[in-house]
Structure 1
Amino acid sequence: MSQTISRRGLLQAGATIGAVAGASALTGCAMGGGDDTEGAKSDANAQNPLGVKEDAPLEVVIFNGGFGEEYAKAHEAMYKERWPKAEIKHSATQQISQTLQPRFVAGDPPDVLNNSGGNQIDFNGLVSQGALADLGELLAAPSLDDPKKTVKDTLRPGIVDLGSYDGRFLSLNYAYSAYGIWYSKKLLDDRGWQYPKTWDEMISLCRTIKAAGMNPWTYQGKHARYMSWPILSAAAKLGGTDVLMAIDNLEPNAWKHEAVRAAADAYYQLAVDGFIQPGAEGMDHIQSQTEWSRGNAVFISCGSWLENEQKSVTPPGFAMAVSPTPSLTKGDKLPFEAFRGTGSEPFVVPAKAKNLRGGLEYLRVMLSKKGSSDFTRKVSSLTVVAGPIEGIELSPGLTSVTKLIDTAGKNTFNWLYNSYYRKLERTLVDAACADLFSKRINSAQFVDRCQQAADEIAKDSSIKKYKRT
């Protein structure tokens, strides 16, 4: 199949964007809200602002994914240092939903849950059934490092909004992820190639790479939504962040906005012109990322957990680096340096936790300078704790991420539809991306499919809706 992508159409989109902006509950099971008492509790004071009962056991369940579980054991040791009489039960699994959902239904959840990964419990269901504790008290508590600062004061911008539903802060997304296009700086330097800042430059470089006998791109074919991230990033930069707001709010025709159409058209060209590694559509994230790490493709879309996830197979001297998505036109509303930056690795305290106070305190420990720096040291990823990184030798990828953040300044953005409506991203948009990059549909059909999917969510009365403002 071949198709010529209209460059004129892309340029027209940049000129005319102007000011125009264009998962279901948990299988019906009652999750149990927060009507019961919160369990173990002590009197709050300056040394114990959250009222932790010093000898109350604490149970922590971690998603054993790209970051592993060792960082959590370090946080648990820090908690134990503060509360030596508390016994801590630790477990880690990749089967979060299968393991923990029955415990929520039974009213016997752990005190802290890292609800992450492909098998996480649907947040829409957890929120709508009142299964999560409000973390507002944590935000208002003094930070461990400076009693004059609240925990909220220590967080990076946008983190509270990301974890809030109907004005209640219910989920702490602990890792700070920078999303962009990843490559080997060594490879580009050795070949004399420059990372492209415009889409025309990207296509030109892809032709050069292909002529050199290499694959310009690969992608996580079995999780094709990874390629929706550069599409939406490019759309936000072209049309402004109102484009993302409309998508988050399930507005009619939000996915059909001219900026989204132009971005989908651009990235579809990668497939049409043969710039994607053959067979990528059948690879999962580990397989495709390993192919990339081995030099079998130059570019891949991912978040900043990539370096840690690939550390066992990345060759020495690879010099992993990340850059923002290229600007689509000279008229983009956001500069090239703008990128998607947001929290990931959501941590929650269940409303029926036996040691709810201990759960809140555990998160406060995680958000201390020591807790944050230890995480960064162990997994080569930033946390949502703001401020410079001190006393840590940064890996190449993390060095690139910090440069990305510093260069962007205030020009960061994010979308929330994937947090509000898991099914929309993980199932419906994912399937549309799979069909787009395998050329079973074209870019016009892609935005139509995504809009139809969003409309299905909007019309489904069983799914709680959220409004981003």
Structure 2
Amino acid sequence: MGHGISRRGLLQGAAGAAAAGTLAGCAMGGDDSPDDAKGEVTASNPLGVKPDAPLEVVIFNGGFGEEYAKAHEAMYRQRYPKAEIKHSATQQIAETLQPRFVAGDPPDVVNNSGGSQIDFNGLVSEGALTDLGELLDAPSLDDPNTKVRDTLLPGIVDVGSYDGRFLSLNYAYSAYGVWYSQKLFDARGWEYPKTWTEMIALCRTIKAAGIAPWTYPGKHSRYMSWPILAAAGKTGGIEVIKAIDNLEPNAWKHDAVRAAAEAYYQLAVDGYLQPGAEGMDHIQSQTEWCRGHAAFVSCGSWLENEQKSVTPPGFRMAVAPTPSLTAGDKMGFEAFRGTGSEPFIVPTKGKNVRGGLEYLRIMLSQQGASDFTRKVSSLTCVRGSSAGIALGPGLTSVTKLIDASNGGAFTWLYSSYYRKLERERVDAACAELFTKRINAAQWCDKVQRSADEFAQDPAVKKYKRA
């Protein structure tokens, strides 16, 4: 769930030590940040890192674990051997760090991810995040003639930008789609469906074979909003997605959104969802899928790493785009949702902002990025960094998905602009939709009412996607 970071919310969420006196004395960000750790700017030190300044890094200990970060820290230590590095990892990012943001004592680098992520809307409105534009314009670690921005995959700057400032580096590159076992499909003679009519026909066949066609994490039902929105975007075009991102009136009631919601609602109506899935979390539903109890699951490309301990040998997980809803879809079947994930930030109040920027520059090197891919079976936002790496079946399938799209990846930003809208409202509406407590039209109405609330709430900072 999202955590707002308004001044009042922060103080309420902080420990008693962060009393009201903190409010007057410590703004969360702004031009008075104590960036005292500055060194000489040179060709080998373009960001002006102070070589002996301590660096503190806090990592979200989720699907990717924390070992990859220790490798990045070792690279930093190699460049700055006098720098002491403090490393910690937690799943409770907001609970651990909100009091420190209030107190004006945040870490230098934060992997602000997971279910307890600190709400970006609050961080941005409080001026708590360093503009990473300087990092983008710095020379890359591998080639001094190439800027960091020119090493990134398309869309990475967009998804990390707020009000035109690049504030969040989404380090992992995630492709979202519908996952299945190539082994199962080959054994049964099934082919992945390219149209929704074919999907329903295959679901009928799968169910007759004694396998649930789909499973899903009912405790995190928003996972099923992803194929709905992907199908809506492919049917109606990117303008449909942009209207949702911009909280436009009736955006969620667009014909393309309703058609997509009706299609996926059909899975529930026709009995193509695994019984009991409404009570499962993501790990439980994904494990059921790995055990062959369901044929399809909606997820992002972290799935292979997240399920590696329970995936049977030879399972050969594969991913495909959402099936086309109509013959007149504005995007082809190969178009998919692809975007950056796993956001990293450099707080303005960190004691070593220069070091924080440099740490991200190291992460964005070919060595830093390829090492991440080897360790956690996920692509990064760095172009070409997976070349020459032996990838697992799932990630190999992801690279084929990306290549087949010919640049046809797209994404939505509402879930990062207004995290609670997705994590709470859309999630709750999907839970009702897939247990048939509401129908597709009611789902569209319900989510639209929630979006309208966000649009009309003066306390919610608004963003405009061009």
Give TM-score scaled by structure 2 length.
0.95
What is the CA-CA distance between 1:388 and the residue it aligns to?
5.6
What is the CA-CA distance between 1:391 and the residue it aligns to?
2.7
**Match in the other structure for 1:7:** none
Instruction: State yes or no: 1:33 paired with 2:29.
Output: yes
Residues 234, 332 of structure 2: 8 Å contact kept:
yes
**2 CA distance for matches of 1:63 and 1:411?**
30
Instruction: State yes or no: 1:131 paired with 2:128.
Output: yes
* Secondary structure in 1 matching 2:81: coil
**1 CA distance for matches of 2:207 and 2:234?**
27
**Match in the other structure for 1:411:** 408
**Match in the other structure for 1:19:** none
**1 CA distance for matches of 2:290 and 2:183?**
12
**1 CA distance for matches of 2:429 and 2:109?**
34
Paired residues in the alignment total 447
**Match in the other structure for 2:294:** 297
Question: Map of 1:67-78 to 2, 5 A cutoff?
Answer: 67-78=64-75
Instruction: State yes or no: 1:163 paired with 2:144.
Output: no
Question: Map of 1:449-460 to 2, 5 A cutoff?
Answer: 449-460=446-457
**Match in the other structure for 1:3:** none
From 195, 199, 222, the equivalent of 2:192 is 195
**Match in the other structure for 1:314:** 311
* Secondary structure in 2 matching 1:301: strand
Question: Map of 1:79-158 to 2, 5 A cutoff?
Answer: 79-158=76-155
**2 CA distance for matches of 1:266 and 1:116?**
31
Aligned-residue Cα RMSD (Å) equals 0.9
What is the CA-CA distance between 1:36 and the residue it aligns to?
2.6
What is the CA-CA distance between 1:32 and the residue it aligns to?
1.3
**1 CA distance for matches of 2:34 and 2:343?**
24
Task: Mark the CA change 1:366 to 1:388 in structure 2 (over 3 Å): closer, same or farther.
Answer: closer
What is the CA-CA distance between 1:317 and the residue it aligns to?
0.4
* Secondary structure in 2 matching 1:125: helix
From 374, 392, 396, the equivalent of 1:395 is 392
What is the CA-CA distance between 1:24 and the residue it aligns to?
4.8
**Match in the other structure for 2:428:** 431
What is the identity, as a one-letter code, of the residue corresponding to 1:273? D
**Match in the other structure for 1:16:** none
Deviations 1:233-270 (A, max 9, x none): 00000000000000000000000000000000000000
Identity of aligned residues (%): 76
**1 CA distance for matches of 2:43 and 2:291?**
53
What is the identity, as a one-letter code, of the residue corresponding to 2:29? G
**1 CA distance for matches of 2:100 and 2:379?**
31
Residues 25, 463 of structure 1: 8 Å contact kept:
no
Question: Map of 1:176-215 to 2, 5 A cutoff?
Answer: 176-215=173-212
Residues 280, 288 of structure 1: 8 Å contact kept:
yes
What is the identity, as a one-letter code, of the residue corresponding to 1:377? R
**Match in the other structure for 2:365:** 368
What is the CA-CA distance between 1:397 and the residue it aligns to?
0.3
**2 CA distance for matches of 1:207 and 1:388?**
41
**1 CA distance for matches of 2:67 and 2:205?**
42
Any gaps of 5 or more consecutive residues in structure 2? 11-22
Deviations 1:83-121 (A, max 9, x none): 111111100000000001110001000000000000000
What is the identity, as a one-letter code, of the residue corresponding to 1:38? D
Task: Mark the CA change 1:242 to 1:194 in structure 2 (over 3 Å): closer, same or farther.
Answer: same
What is the identity, as a one-letter code, of the residue corresponding to 2:28? G
**2 CA distance for matches of 1:391 and 1:466?**
40
**1 CA distance for matches of 2:113 and 2:4?**
17
Residues 268, 435 of structure 2: 8 Å contact kept:
yes
What is the identity, as a one-letter code, of the residue corresponding to 1:32? M
**Match in the other structure for 2:17:** none
Any gaps of 5 or more consecutive residues in structure 1? 1-22
Give TM-score scaled by structure 1 length.
0.94
